[in-house]
């Protein structure tokens, strides 16, 4: 690891110190105020050709007052004439040495650049600097050489879950959540500070943090048992307690709610802060979308619109020969006549009128959980399982089901379809019937799929996944590379 | 002479061009700095520690034998009562020791209604018939006694009760429990 600097910079520093550099950064590269910004804009052009284009790569001479473009060699013309060899790239603040014919990274110069740049970023509310490690960071990394990444070829992120006695419904939900984008990163970045020893046994977020550690620390390849989570959920939800098979979908909703509630900001005294100023919980940020319900009066056409939050979409399965997920979603967003028996009070007409109702999605969540209603209670009170196979895609386009799509005044090119593309990353399956059933799941890591059957984790193919019966489908926004 | 529309178009193209160029250069500089300072391998680190996935038939991704993994269990300390419980039997244990759930409340109400609870056993045990530990004790005792007639009788009885126990535990969604559950859920939903 040779020096990233050069003797020419060293020579310059001994003559002029860091003052010229400071001025250039503060005035031209990262002006800290509105006034300096305006001043900089007027100065930022090549003195020989007046070009302002980023493509021409303007540089400022470090030795004198000169700004010239790199691409058209106007900087070089100046340097040849004067013998000045150091210049600063005005877009990024990097130092170029003409004698070495390369960009150099002197420690002292870097300190000035980073301080100025970070100060500027804080000013415009961008607090995430690019990772530019210094010597101390590199030494630390050198001493700790173990590197773990989630890719499709290693076992990192995979772990079996012991069935504690009909707890497969819980295991499939844990598998789906530990492999959910954004949620996974939240837990691995330890965004939830660990609770005090007295609180930790009642904190579901701390418990999930622990589960994430068990999955991603690559320490143990034996199956793990989420027994503390079981107790926590039982303590919290009376109707989920009890040794018997539960519904995985109900469990998912209960757990998401428990985590969300636990993360609600509390004011002094422990009660929830209802001012609404706090940031949304990670659960809302990841799973919560919004659904629009339009009730239209058949008589006068008056539209009554409500928007409600939702963390999953429960879909009826249409009884057609080869039902697809698109069929289910179409049925969900279809305009329905409410009929004579369910007249709605129309504000415009002033009386009850026959109306139609239509549901559409007004805002999509980062992770869309689609629930196929396979466990239906019939009119007689008995329950049965709807085992109709429903085909579902690897990539789902939610565009046709959006509220904006139904608005006919918008032309197609204004609906940016890229935002509505979703990628499948987890599938929960139920095998058997109500009397004796078993849950298994498929999860995806990068491009590899795995089958999770309690403690048994095996590699699976996309064909196996797409041919499964599907009860819960988890899709994530395509624009999040995961 | 350029029309205004053409000029606007050209300027927009130039701005986009510059933006793409600058974004690309940003990444180039990051890599260049890493190369000059010697941390290029850290920018896009390769996994050097994780185990590679096993795709052999009969084995799971970790290379464990599938049959063994499916039977895997260990003993943990119950957070509620501190006893050592096998992980595969934790849920039924928790139901009793925690006091919630159908079996627990049924036993509790039965205990309350009948003063002395008798069950065809030896030794006059009055424990609940589906207490796991009692079954375990019986099993161990049976093994110790060996092949005497008395022992054989015990053997048959404990097997029968064990079978009943086994069937009950493996039934999910049994109809009477289901009605209770749906009504409980309805009540809770109303509360919400």
Asked if residues A368 and A401 have their Cβ atoms less than 8 Å apart, the reply is: no
Q: CATH homologous superfamily of domain A7-121? A: Zinc/RING finger domain, C3HC4 (zinc finger) (3.30.40.10)
CB pairs under 8 A between A and B: 205
Distance between CA atoms of A351 and A309, rounded to whole angstroms? 29
Closest residue on chain B to A137 (Cα): B39
Using alpha carbons, select from A290, A312, A327, A277 the residue that is nearest to residue A426.
A312
Do residue B79 and residue A146 have CB atoms under 8 angstroms apart? no
Token readout for A245 is: 């098979």
Residues 409-448 of chain A with CB under 8 A from chain B are: 434-437, 448
Half-sphere exposure of A335 (CA within 13 A, CB side): 10
Q: What is the pLDDT of residue B160?
A: 41
Question: B111-120: long-range contacts at Cβ-Cβ below 8 A with a sequence spacing of 24 or more?
Answer: B119/B161, B120/B157
State in Å, rounded, how far the first CA of chain B is from the last one: 71
Between these two residues, A241 and A71, which has the higher pLDDT value? A71
Do residue A162 and residue B88 have CB atoms under 8 angstroms apart? yes
Distance between CA atoms of A13 and A106, rounded to whole angstroms? 10
- The pLDDT of residue A305 is above 80: yes
Question: Where are the strands (E) in chain B, listed by range?
Answer: 75-77, 84-86
Between these two residues, A150 and A315, which has the higher pLDDT value? A315
Mean of all residue pLDDT scores within chain A: 89
What distance in Å separates residue A299's CA from the closest CA in chain B? 34
Residue A399: pLDDT band (50, 70, 90) is very high
Residues in contact with A90: Cβ distance below 8 Å, sequence separation at least 6, in sequence order: A28, A29, A44, A58, A59, A60, A67
Q: What is the pLDDT of residue B154?
A: 40
Output Rg (C-alpha) for chain B, integer angstroms. Answer: 34
Phi, psi of A445 (to 5 degrees): -125, 120
**What tens digit of pLDDT does each residue of A225-242 get?**
999 999 999 888 877 777
Residue A170: pLDDT band (50, 70, 90) is very high
Q: Who among A154, A162, A435 is closest to B73 (CB)?
A: A162
Do residue B87 and residue A162 have CB atoms under 8 angstroms apart? yes
A427 bridge partner residues = A442, A473
Asked if residues B131 and B97 have their Cβ atoms less than 8 Å apart, the reply is: no
**What tens digit of pLDDT does each residue of B90-146 get?**
999 988 887 765 555 566 666 666 654 444 444 433 344 444 444 444 444 444 444
Between these two residues, A270 and A169, which has the higher pLDDT value? A169
Token readout for B151 is: 């022992």
Element containing residue A313 per DSSP (H, E): strand A313-315
Do residue A155 and residue B74 have CB atoms under 8 angstroms apart? no
Selecting among A61, A168, A328, A452, the annotated active-site residue is: A168
- The pLDDT of residue B84 is above 50: yes
What distance in Å separates residue A348's CA from the closest CA in chain B? 32
Using alpha carbons, select from A476, A461, A472, A317 the residue that is nearest to residue A390.
A317
Phi, psi of A9 (to 5 degrees): -65, -40
Using alpha carbons, select from A247, A368, A390, A358 the residue that is nearest to residue A311.
A368
Q: Which residue has the tokens 């020579």?
A: A11
Between these two residues, A45 and A276, which has the higher pLDDT value? A45
Distance between CA atoms of A182 and A281, rounded to whole angstroms? 12
Do residue B61 and residue A450 have CB atoms under 8 angstroms apart? yes
Do residue A154 and residue B53 have CB atoms under 8 angstroms apart? yes
Residues 325-384 of chain A with CB under 8 A from chain B are: 377, 381, 383
Is A120 a known active-site residue?
no
Asked if A454 is an interface residue toward chain B (Cβ–Cβ < 8 A), one would say yes
Q: What is the pLDDT of residue A407?
A: 58
Do residue A243 and residue B171 have CB atoms under 8 angstroms apart? no
Please list, residue by residue across A371-389, b when 16 or more beta carbons sit within 10 angstroms of its beta carbon and e when fewer do: bbebbeeeeeeebebeeee
Distance between CA atoms of A35 and A267, rounded to whole angstroms? 41
Residues in contact with B45: Cβ distance below 8 Å, sequence separation at least 6, in sequence order: A147, A149
Output DSSP code: residue B65: B
Using alpha carbons, select from A185, A316, A202 the residue that is nearest to residue A258.
A202
Closest residue on chain A to B102 (Cα): A242
A262 burial type by CB count under 10 A (0-12 exposed, 13-18 middle, 19+ buried): buried
Do residue A55 and residue B18 have CB atoms under 8 angstroms apart? yes
Q: Who among A54, A141, A222 is closest to B22 (CB)?
A: A54
Is A168 a known active-site residue?
yes
Q: Sketch the domain layout of chain A as residue ranges.
A: 7-121
Closest residue on chain A to B173 (Cα): A435
ipTM over 0.95: no
Give the helix ranges, DSSP H, for A297-379.
325-332
What distance in Å separates residue A144's CA from the closest CA in chain B? 12
């Amino acid at each position: 690891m040779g020096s990233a600097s050069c003797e020419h910079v060293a020579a310059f520093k001994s003559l002029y110190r860091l003052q010229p550099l400071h001025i250039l950064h503060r005035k031209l590269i990262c002006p800290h105020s509105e006034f300096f910004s305006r001043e900089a804009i007027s100065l930022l052009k090549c003195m020989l050709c007046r070009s302002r284009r980023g493509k021409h790569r303007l540089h400022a001479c470090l030795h004198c007052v000169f700004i010239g473009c790199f691409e058209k060699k106007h900087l070089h013309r100046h340097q040849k004439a004067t013998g000045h060899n150091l210049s600063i790239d005005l877009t990024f603040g990097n130092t170029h040495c003409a004698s070495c014919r390369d960009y150099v990274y002197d420690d002292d110069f870097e300190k000035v650049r980073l301080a100025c740049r970070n100060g500027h970023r804080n000013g415009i509310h961008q607090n995430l600097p690019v990772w530019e490690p210094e010597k101390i960071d590199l030494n630390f990394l050198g001493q700790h050489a173990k590197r773990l990444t989630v890719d499709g070829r290693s076992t990192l992120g995979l772990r079996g879950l012991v069935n504690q006695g009909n707890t497969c419904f819980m295991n499939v939900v844990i598998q789906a959540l530990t492999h959910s984008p954004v949620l996974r990163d939240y837990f691995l970045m330890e965004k939830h500070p660990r609770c005090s020893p007295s609180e930790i046994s009642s904190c579901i977020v701390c418990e999930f943090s622990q589960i994430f550690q068990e999955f991603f620390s690559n320490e143990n390849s034996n199956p793990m048992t989420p027994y503390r989570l079981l107790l926590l959920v039982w303590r919290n939800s009376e109707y989920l307690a009890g040794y018997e098979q539960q519904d995985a979908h109900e469990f998912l909703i209960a757990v998401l709610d428990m985590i969300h509630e636990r993360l609600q900001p509390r004011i002094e005294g422990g009660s929830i802060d209802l001012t609404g100023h706090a940031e949304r919980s990670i659960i809302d940020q990841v799973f919560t979308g919004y659904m629009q319900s339009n009730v239209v009066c058949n008589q006068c056409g008056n539209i009554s619109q409500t928007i409600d939050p939702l963390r999953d979409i429960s879909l009826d399965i249409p009884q057609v020969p080869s039902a697809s997920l698109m069929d289910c979603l179409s049925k969900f967003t279809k305009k329905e006549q409410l009929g004579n028996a369910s007249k709605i009070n129309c504000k415009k007409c002033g009386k009850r009128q026959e109306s139609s109702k239509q549901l559409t999605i007004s805002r999509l969540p980062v992770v869309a959980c689609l629930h196929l209603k396979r466990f239906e209670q019939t009119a007689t009170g008995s329950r049965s399982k709807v085992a109709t196979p429903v085909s579902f895609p690897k990539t789902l386009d939610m565009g046709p089901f959006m509220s904006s799509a139904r608005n006919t005044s918008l032309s197609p090119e204004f609906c940016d379809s890229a935002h509505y593309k979703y990628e499948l990353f987890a599938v929960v399956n139920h095998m058997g019937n109500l009397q004796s059933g078993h849950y298994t799941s498929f999860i995806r890591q990068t491009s590899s799929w795995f089958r999770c059957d309690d403690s048994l984790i095996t590699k699976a193919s996309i064909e196996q996944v797409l041919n499964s019966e599907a009860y819960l489908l988890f899709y994530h926004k395509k624009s999040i590379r995961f | 002479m350029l029309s205004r529309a053409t000029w606007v178009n050209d300027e927009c193209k130039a701005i986009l061009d510059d933006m793409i160029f600058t974004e690309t250069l940003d990444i180039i500089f990051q890599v260049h700095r890493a190369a000059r300072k010697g941390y290029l391998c850290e920018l896009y680190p390769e996994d050097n520690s994780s185990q590679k996935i096993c795709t052999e038939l009969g084995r799971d991704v970790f290379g464990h034998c599938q049959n063994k993994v499916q039977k895997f269990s260990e003993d943990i300390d119950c957070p509620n009562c501190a006893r050592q419980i096998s992980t595969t039997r934790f849920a039924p244990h928790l139901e009793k020791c925690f006091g919630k759930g159908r079996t627990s409340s049924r036993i509790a109400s039965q205990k309350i209604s009948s003063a002395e609870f008798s069950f065809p056993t030896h030794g006059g045990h009055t424990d609940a018939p589906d207490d796991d530990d009692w079954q375990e004790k019986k099993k161990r005792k049976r093994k110790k006694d060996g092949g005497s007639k008395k022992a054989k009788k015990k053997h048959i009885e404990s097997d029968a009760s064990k079978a009943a126990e086994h069937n009950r535990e493996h039934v999910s969604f049994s109809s009477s429990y289901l009605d209770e559950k749906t009504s409980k859920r309805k009540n809770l939903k109303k509360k919400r």
